[in-house]
């Protein structure tokens, strides 16, 4: 089973991924945790290019295509082989991020990105996606503490509120009436969110 997590930056999705991995491993399930962009030698190099704030002159089209290139390598090298070997693959972001961030956020044609993702992703689409939803105002509350711990923001995290508003609205539009998407209130306590995720996965027999 392929499970992806989506959300705005600082939504807490990475925390939920770690909790879910621990939960599944405690049940003796084989789990592969990956992140986007990244996950392979090539994809990690692309990640460095994408997130380096020195690359502030990167155009939106380059950003989109670099994400797509990183994803293509990750699918072929990690996702498909692990699924074929019976692993549960947990991904910190996947193709919905391109539609929300580069489509609705940057203003690139959503139809073009959908076609590009069909070319890149093919059949390697998540069986279920958890969207940890937080209001944009919450980003700023969480950002200061997180960036202090990590030593600064990356290139995308430096984006302004109006960008994140468009991204969040894009996510909600993408996920409207999609049965494979589970929208979770990211303002709930961490353990309550984790329990909600586990309950949903139990419906799939996980």
pLDDT bucket at 83, cuts 50 / 70 / 90: very high
Model confidence at 195: pLDDT above 60: yes
Q: Average pLDDT of 56-62?
A: 97
Host H or E run for residue 137: helix 136-150
Contact by Cβ (8 Å): 39, 74: yes
pTM value is 0.93
What is the distance between the terminal CA atoms of the chain, rounded to a whole angstrom? 9
Rg over CA atoms, the chain: 16
Q: Identify the CA nearest to 46 among candidates 27, 30, 31, 68.
A: 68
pLDDT for position 156: 87
Beta bridge partners of 90: 3, 33
pLDDT bucket at 154, cuts 50 / 70 / 90: confident
- Tell me the average pLDDT of the chain: 94
């Amino acid at each position: 089973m392929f499970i992806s997590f989506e959300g705005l930056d600082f939504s807490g999705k990475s925390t939920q991924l770690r909790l879910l991995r621990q939960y599944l491993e405690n049940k003796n399930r084989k789990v592969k945790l990956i992140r986007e962009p990244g996950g392979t030698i090539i994809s990690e190099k692309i990640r460095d290019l994408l997130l380096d704030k020195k690359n502030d002159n990167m155009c939106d089209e380059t950003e989109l295509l670099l994400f797509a290139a990183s994803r293509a390598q990750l699918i072929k090298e990690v996702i498909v082989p692990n699924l074929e070997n019976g692993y549960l693959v947990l991904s910190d972001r996947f193709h919905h991020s391109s539609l929300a961030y580069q489509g609705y956020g940057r203003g690139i044609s959503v139809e073009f990105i959908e076609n590009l993702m069909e070319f890149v992703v093919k059949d390697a689409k998540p069986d279920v996606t958890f969207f940890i939803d937080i209001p944009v105002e919450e980003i700023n509350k969480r950002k200061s503490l997180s960036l202090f711990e990590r030593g600064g923001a990356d290139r995308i995290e430096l984006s302004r509120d109006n960008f994140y508003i468009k991204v969040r609205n894009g996510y909600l539009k993408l996920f409207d009436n999609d049965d494979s998407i589970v929208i979770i209130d990211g303002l709930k306590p961490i353990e309550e969110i984790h329990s909600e995720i586990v309950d949903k996965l139990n419906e799939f027999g996980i």
